[in-house]
Structure 1
Amino acid sequence: MPATILCVEDEQDLRSDICEELETAGYAVMEADNGREALELMRERRPDLVLCDITMPLMSGLDLLGLVRKEPALADLPFVFLTALAGRRDIIAGKAAGVDDYLTKPIDFDLMLITIAARLEQVARVKGAVVRQDSDGVGGGVRSALLGANEALHHVAVGIFLLDDQRKVVFRNRRADELLAEADGISLSRDGVLRGEKPQQTQAMRNIIDVAISSATSGTRQGTEAVALSRSSGRRSLFAVACPLGRGPARPGEPVVGLFVTDPERRLSAAAEAVAQLYGLSPAETRLALALARGLRLDEIADEFGISRNTVSYTMKNLFRKTETDRQADLISLFIASPVALEND
């Protein structure tokens, strides 16, 4: 049975061309001209993949994606945005919302078909891995997959702690080890349980972990919980997020929860590199944006870098132009809400 692709595009001519290419390639096709209609179609008949424009009447692509990711029956649908080259702000927002891929307009149909095939193949591999794990009596394919990605996890610039149903750490990546070595905001007890610097923070972290454990072992969807962990050094608090890993009962010692810990001091530089590459910023423009994110005023930036206020103002104008922002708050948000970076060896 051919895979079904839902094309959501308000430009009728473009939508017709896309659907024709999909049908010629052997896919079954559904189509909608706005997000609201698309959501109704998806609820009636779940497609295998969604191609979706971002800017549409009644409901935008971003709004549609947000709703889809919240519906249990649709949450894992592969979602590919169709966007104009100028839509860089949309790319940041889409990544944050959980989009799987982008295709830029005008659409390269060969690239579109390759992208769709690759995404569908990826889904098939994941489903196959889960089926194999279930046939072996293991409840969580996600859990096994994470442990299988051991080496890759060591290169992620976020502290990753995998916990069993007793809250004990059964795996931690390289960045997690570094956070523990710093002994600033988070620590590990002798019995392998994570702690904050203060009793109330230890309890808060325990609470979010317990919610994630309940969600993982019971199979219910209770969302993702987070907590801030203050640090005695005076640096900005660590940010910890607890997520269930798969669903169903776990074997003793098997990870059921992932605790992901970010350091805003470190994340800022990683985010800056990602945003600078995305928007083609110069080193001077990147330094200025980072200084603004640190809370410095323009006169303080001029003094710190040994440059004139006119130079700062000129660089600021270039930043606004390249990032398509017009306020400092919007600019700063780009540098603190960027995708997770990868560490270099």
Structure 2
Amino acid sequence: MGAHARTEDRKLRELLDRALPPPGVQGVSGSMTVGRSHGRTRLAVHVTPLARHEWDFSHRGAAALVLVVDPESPSRIDAGIVAEALGLTPAESRLAVMLATGHSLRDIAERSGRSYGTVRWHLQRILHKQDVSRQADLVRRILSLDGFPVSPP
């Protein structure tokens, strides 16, 4: 694994070395960004060590999880996961996902064939269930459940 730019490659190798230390030494997580060609948004790279109790592949060596995040990639939030994780109904979950992906309440009402008042009522129920008072707090919670892309772009 490496980066094109020499300084970024050096920093990535340092992150990997810290996450994959010698036996008996605790690994350390870290993050960085990596540039791309043509002026596109930089990629975020997160490296974290995996403790032995977190995996069991009959492998005795060190292991680390490397997650590369493309900020330009659209979110693919699974409404089923949102419903299960946050204790929402399927309808509430769909509304919450649409809100988290940038749709306004009016847009959600139009797309779902419901009145604005009904959508607003559902939002109030969701906020109450989550014990938050601001949409921004709800959106942050939902975005934390954003998963891996369903299929490669």
1:284 equivalent in structure 2? 91
Question: What is the aligned counterpart of 2:136 among 325, 329, 332?
Answer: 329
2:48 equivalent in structure 1? 242
Please give the alpha-carbon distance, in whole angstroms, between the structure 2 residues aligned to 1:236 and 1:336. Answer: 20
Please give the alpha-carbon distance, in whole angstroms, between the structure 2 residues aligned to 1:222 and 1:277. Answer: 32
Q: Does structure 2 conserve the Cα–Cα contact (< 8 Å) formed by 1:293 and 1:335?
A: yes
Question: What is the aligned counterpart of 1:309 among 112, 116, 121?
Answer: 116
Question: What is the aligned counterpart of 1:261 among 64, 67, 82?
Answer: 67
Q: Does structure 1 conserve the Cα–Cα contact (< 8 Å) formed by 2:83 and 2:93?
A: yes
Q: Does structure 1 residue 227 correspond to structure 2 residue 32?
A: yes
TM-fit CA distance, 1:332: 1.7
Residue 132 of structure 2 aligns to a residue in which SS? coil
Percent identical: 27
> Any idea what the Cα deviations from partners look like across 1:106-146, whole Å, max 9, x if unmatched?
xxxxxxxxxxxxxxxxxxxxxxxxxxxxxxxxxxxxxxxxx
Q: Does structure 1 conserve the Cα–Cα contact (< 8 Å) formed by 2:105 and 2:119?
A: yes
Give the number of the structure whose alpha-carbon radius of gyration is greater: 1
The 3 A distance-change label for structure 1 pair 230 and 320 is: farther
RCO higher in 1 or 2 (8 Å CA, sep ≥ 6)?
Answer: 2
TM-fit CA distance, 1:236: 9.3
Q: Does structure 1 conserve the Cα–Cα contact (< 8 Å) formed by 2:88 and 2:126?
A: yes
Q: Does structure 2 conserve the Cα–Cα contact (< 8 Å) formed by 1:245 and 1:255?
A: no
Please give the alpha-carbon distance, in whole angstroms, between the structure 2 residues aligned to 1:292 and 1:228. Answer: 28
Alignment gaps of 5+ in structure 2: 53-58
Whichever structure has more strand as a proportion of its residues is: 1
What amino acid sits opposite 2:100 in the alignment? A
> Normalising by structure 2, what TM-score?
0.62
Alignment gaps of 5+ in structure 1: 1-193, 247-252
What amino acid sits opposite 1:224 in the alignment? S
TM-fit CA distance, 1:286: 0.9
Equivalences, count: 136
2:15 equivalent in structure 1? 208
> Any idea what the Cα deviations from partners look like across 1:215-265, whole Å, max 9, x if unmatched?
x20634463212355778x7995552231656xxxxxx9642312426583
TM-fit CA distance, 1:316: 0.5
Residue 333 of structure 1 aligns to a residue in which SS? helix
